[in-house]
A and B are shown apart, each in its own frame.
Chain A
Amino acid sequence: MLALIPLLPFAGFLVNATLGRRLPKSVSGGLASLVMLASFVISVISVVQIAGRPVEARAIQEVLYTWIASGDLKIDVTFRVDTLSAVMILVVTGIGSLIHIYSTAYMHDESDSEFARYFSYLNLFASFMLVLVLGANFPVMFVGWEGVGLCSYLLIGFWFKKKSANDAGKKAFVVNRIGDYAFLLGMFALFARFGTLDFQEIASAVATLPAEMTFGVLSITTLLLFIGATGKSAQIPLYTWLPDAMEGPTPVSALIHAATMVTAGVYMIGRNAVLFEHAPQTMMIVAVIGAATALMAGTIGLVQNDIKRVLAYSTVSQLGYMFLAMGVGAFGAGIFHLYTHAFFKALLFLGSGAVIHALHGEQDIRNMGGLKKELPITFWTFVIGAVAIAGIPPLAGFFSKDEILFETFAEGHQILWVVGAITALLTATYMFRLVFLTFWGERRHDAPAVADAHGHVGPVLSDRPDAHGHHGHLHDAPPAMALALIVLAIGSVAAGWIGIPGNNVLAEWLHPAFEAPRAAAAVAGEPVAAAEPAAVTGEAAGESHEALEFTLMAVSTAIAVAGIWFAYFVWVKRRSIAEKAAREFAPVHRLLLNKYYVDEIYDAAIVQPIRVASQDGLWRGFDVKIIDGAVNGAATIVNSSATLLRRLQTGSVKTYAGSVFVGAVAILAYYLWL
């Protein structure tokens, strides 16, 4: 039955890809949403099944068939739901379904065939994503890993007639490929070291080893895997593709670049928690990269003017948090943040989509403002999302972010905690800058163009957009979009409640997934326990821990409130401050606005040298001169020698006879006298 979870969206993809152009939008969109919902239902059933079992037996494994059998290498296509992948499939199918439903309204202006193409990609993506999280070994995960990369490319470049969208798609693909290459190398290294690629077997094998204190095989292997994760999850140094990926349709950004695909790297580390725990060197790198990414992306997010780009940098920043959690060994906290982030970031993206939809493609927040009254549903849900991400209790983001910060502090990484806290301040500030600039104040956008959102009776019942007239006022999200927004808003409020400190249901639920399989751990004795984060369950945490946790909670809440207040003061009360600050610190402002010139640096340091080397060296040098030269040279030699030789062919019989005669005499002479 597990196989159905990815296969249903795949079936949806097949139908929409083959018959889509002939189907009306209601059918293609409805079908796509329906298969996702069905997949969600099956996921829920599977999760309920494993939840009913005792803790150590909470996993279902299904071997479909043997994929590769070659010598020592035996790879089965195996799907496995354990406590960790359970969380992931619920997030992917649940939030995925909502985004599908939202898309039926958002993409409604596309033609039938484009609409079907969009949904076929979306279904294909969901299918691959589910393969990624359900795969019980590296190769199966890698199929999903590559598949989501492909779908990401297709969906970012969905409006492929736009050059920027095309370029962004290519960039995402190429940057991801760099990470994937490292990921593959990591897989090879694992196979070479352990002779298996099954997650469980690797975990059992690793559990018997001591943690690697020097920079050895395990560290290099895990580091390679982590480079793969930085590509997929947009961390330094491979994060540059994510902000550009905002060229795709907004629901795509919500699904792929906020809720699901970009979390694949975090999930992968969680999946191999035992392996990573045995490589403390790598863990440190993961934590530092995560914190640095969080801080850097947060500062960039502070000055960006494109509503989606702010959210994109926010995503990069939040993913940084997740990696920070992973790096300090707080796997449960990382996955918790992944799960709450999926809600509020999907909500924020969909909310921004609703704003863009209402403003007919306007994405620049400098041209927005005053949308509070006109788009009430969007406004309220967006604010809920913003409060959640800022970390105000009792909304979802508070609990998960707080747990990460607490774990970081408790594990003794005070500097990383400070970075995390600053990032929290930045998060609250840039999110509310976005909220205030978009919804508060005066309308700075004078031409609302044609109000095509008007008259959407249902998500799929409307006429072509040109049938509607100019109405002058804006239209809030149509029902399908509103539904997704409201459900996600509820999620953003309540999702955190399963991880309340002291009664952390989620951490307890996830705990078995981060341990080596029981049997192996028993053989190994205690080395596992040494590396295990003691505070994950909350049981081991003593009194002092609890006190510390509440202190830190108060601090981070204060930080969030301060951030919001600061945003309010600067961008609502005294707009002049922001402008003045931008002028006074012009170099800093320009640096941030240009994203630290990282794209330019990469361009100058990597892209251009490769381009020049390829164009002038490999193409015009090696290929044209040497390869083509050799081929053409051979032809030239044949040609010129033939030009000489063909003079012999006079056509005169007498000459031929003469040469035969001379030849005969020469042969005779040879035999007679030599």
Chain B
Amino acid sequence: MIPLSHYLILSATLFAIGAAGVFLRKNLITILLSVEIMLNAVNLTFVAFGRFAGDLDGQIITFFVMTVAAAEAAVGLALVIALFRHRESLNPDAFTSLKW
């Protein structure tokens, strides 16, 4: 049997990759995809913990996360399209009007 730590290390690696993607990539769509990777890394953790704890809670919460992630993807993509129409760019560094 594969020990829990393996799952967790994989999950952490995925999460780190996702996080790095969020911070380093210059394309909003890629960033959204990276966020999905991070979410799924977390999902993996939940499922792994659920399996090792011997109950279904982990799997149930994963479903919730997936639902929210789907919604988030829809809203996120809508925002990205709106931003693109507005500025003709997908580079997040182009959007700095939140400044004072």
Contacts and interface: CB of A to CB of B under 8 A. Distances in A.
A658 interface: yes
Given A657-B22, A661-B19, A652 B93 contact: yes
B98 A653 contact: yes
Interface string B81-100: 00000000000110111111
A657 B19 CA distance: 10
A275 to B, nearest CB: 73
B100 A646 contact: yes
Given A654-B92, A654-B93, A649 B100 contact: yes
A544 interface: no
Nearest to B94: A652
Interface string B1-31: 0000000000000000001001100000000
A649 B99 contact: yes
B98 A651 contact: yes
Contacts of A658: 23
Interface residues of A, number: 11
Contact of A653 (B19, B92, B100): B92
Contacts of B92: 652-654
A621 B100 CA distance: 38
Contacts of B96: 650-652
Nearest to B23: A658
B51 to A, nearest CB: 23
A657 B92 CA distance: 11
A658 B97 CA distance: 18
Nearest to B99: A651
A654 B100 contact: no
Interface in B19-49: 19, 22-23
A100 to B, nearest CB: 72
Q: Is the interface of A mostly helix, strand, loop or mixed?
A: helix
A644 to B, nearest CB: 13
Interface residues of B, number: 11
A338 to B, nearest CB: 77
Contacts of B95: 651-653
A651 B94 CA distance: 10
A661 B97 contact: no
Interface string A506-527: 0000000000000000000000
Contacts of A656: 98
Contact of A661 (B23, B93, B98, B100): B23
A652 B19 CA distance: 17
Nearest to A646: B100
Interface in A484-504: none
Contacts of A650: 96, 99
A651 B19 contact: no
A651 B97 contact: yes
B18 to A, nearest CB: 11
Most buried by B among A646, A649, A651, A661: A651
Contacts of B97: 651
A652 B95 CA distance: 6
A654 B20 CA distance: 11
Interface string A444-479: 000000000000000000000000000000000000
A658 B95 CA distance: 15
A502 B11 CA distance: 126
B7 to A, nearest CB: 18
B47 to A, nearest CB: 21
A656 B95 CA distance: 12
Contacts of A649: 98-100
A661 B92 CA distance: 17
Nearest to A654: B92
Scoring A649, A654, A656 by chain B CB atoms within 10 A of each residue's CB, the highest score goes to: A654
Interface string A636-662: 000000000010011111101110010
A525 B47 CA distance: 110
Nearest to A652: B96
Contacts of A646: 100
A155 to B, nearest CB: 62
Contacts of B100: 646, 649
Nearest to B26: A654
Interface string B43-86: 00000000000000000000000000000000000000000000
B23 A657 contact: yes
Contacts of A652: 92-93, 95-96
B38 to A, nearest CB: 10
A650 B23 CA distance: 15
5 contacts: A650-B96, A650-B99, A652-B92, A654-B22, A661-B23
Interface of A: 646, 649-654, 656-658, 661
Given A651-B99, A653-B95, A656-B98, 9 more contacts: A650-B96, A651-B96, A653-B92, A654-B23, A654-B93, A657-B22, A658-B23, A661-B22, A661-B23
